Amino acid sequence: MELSKLFSKTTKNIVKAESKNHELLVRAGYVDQVMSGVYAYLPLGKKVLEKIEEIIREEITAIGGQEILMPALTPSENWKKTGRWDTMDDLYRFTSYYSKNEVALGGTHEEVVTPLAKKYILSYKDLPKYVFQIQTKFRDEKRPKSGILRGREFRMKDLYSFHAEEKDLNQYYDQVIQSYEKMFKRFGLKEKTFLTFASGGTFSKFSHEFQTESPVGEDTIYLCRQCKMGINKEIILTQKECPKCGRTDLQETRAIEIANIFKLKDKFTKSFKVVYLDEKGKENTVLMGCYGIGPSRIMGTIVEVLSDEKGIVWPKEVAPYNVHLIDLRENKEAEKLYEKLQREKVEVLWDNREESAGVKLQDADLLGMPIRVIVSEKSLNSGGYEVKERNKSKPEILNEKDLIKKVKDYYAK
């Protein structure tokens, strides 16, 4: 992509930045705020979101998830059946002008996926089943804040699993934990993310959250750094006995909840009477688990946790472009390199704007691609291009062949 043709621009003027991710993402032109808690993803931001969602898709498909797409408009009857029409405060509810039907905008989809699964699950032979979607969700948040960390409209991956036996649900639940840990590694968040015990609601003793340590996090958690495990303050307050670690040696910290998983068991399948016939022809209630992770919140968390004073630092698997190419002299060298790299399947953002070296270097740091390449009089006189990783301070001079090798090695999994 030629930066001179990009739809968005970088800007220095940010009014009322809610948080670091809001400020950096808007300044760099990744997102634009349309209203409180509602954002548009611009070309660079859409690319990051897409890469995050593709990683999630790959990992969930690898554990048997089948992708579907449920609607945002959901009938009130379903929410009334589970009782959540009256209890979910942040549900957007309204009435269709023509049909006079009450509908809710899906903020979660148990009320749609459970009756859907009922249609296709009849016998034990139909179990287990795993379906997921990656979709825009809506919650009428009282006070949306922290940029794209908590919005009224946000992206969500929700996976639902259906089982005959609790043992099978437990096994799959553990598989999802491993799958999530693979994702966090690819998002560059593994070091700071902790599996955390949280309230299980009315249907389970505990649920689990994945909490990423950050001062802007809304949750207070207690961490045992030895066993890489956390406990959400909410259960410390309400439950007498704490899981595993006990209360000694735990360290209080703030964290962002980037994912959560629940053993719903029969909570929703009972409401919708989802049953299967077992081998003896006896009717049993299907058991269920649900597993959420928010791509837009992941994007905001990466910016909060990994950026530095100069700007964003994207991990290699989610960066919108592999290489940020800067052109500091007016000749054909940079253009040739741009085309050569693209032929080698390297994704390149080429700053070919008529701007000063200072502006171009500042913007490269702000935008945060993992590898910066400068073509200048000086670099060419030294025999090639100046190459620097975003999170290292020392550049090196590489010729074309070595540059391509470096980029390929860097991005090889």
Residues forming the site for a copy of itself (CB under 8 A): 5-9, 29, 32, 34-36, 38-43, 45-47, 49, 64, 66-75, 92-94, 96-99, 101, 103, 105, 112, 116-117, 119-120, 129, 131, 136, 138, 140-143, 152-153
Give the burial class of 5: count Cβ atoms within 10 A of its Cβ; 0-12 exposed, 13-18 middle, 19 or more buried.
exposed
What's the Cα-to-Cα distance from 107 to each of 133, 138, 251, 266, rounded to whole Å? 13, 5, 33, 20
Question: In terms of residues, how long is the chain?
Answer: 413
The residue among 5 and 413 lying less far from a copy of itself, judged by its C-beta, is: 5
Nearest to 270 by CA among 83, 93, 73, 67: 83
Q: How far is the CB of 31 from a copy of itself (least distance, A)?
A: 9
Number of neighbouring beta carbons within 10 Å of residue 277: 14
Question: Residue ranges of the alpha helices (H) in 196-238?
Answer: 233-238
Q: How far is the CB of 246 from a copy of itself (least distance, A)?
A: 40
The residue among 46 and 182 lying less far from a copy of itself, judged by its C-beta, is: 46
The residue among 47 and 390 lying less far from a copy of itself, judged by its C-beta, is: 47
DSSP-derived secondary structure letter, 127: -
CB 302 within 8 A of CB 315: yes
The residue among 5 and 345 lying less far from a copy of itself, judged by its C-beta, is: 5
The residue among 49 and 274 lying less far from a copy of itself, judged by its C-beta, is: 49
Q: 45: which strand partners?
A: none
The residue among 93 and 167 lying less far from a copy of itself, judged by its C-beta, is: 93
User: Where are any strands of DSSP class E within 169-242?
Assistant: 193-199, 206-213, 219-224, 229-232
Q: How far is the CB of 74 from a copy of itself (least distance, A)?
A: 7
The residue among 1 and 177 lying less far from a copy of itself, judged by its C-beta, is: 1
Q: How far is the CB of 14 from a copy of itself (least distance, A)?
A: 12
Q: How far is the CB of 284 from a copy of itself (least distance, A)?
A: 20
Q: How far is the CB of 379 from a copy of itself (least distance, A)?
A: 27
Q: Which two tokens stand for residue 343?
A: 């032929």
CA dihedral sign of residues 78, 84, 85, 88: negative
Q: How far is the CB of 90 from a copy of itself (least distance, A)?
A: 8
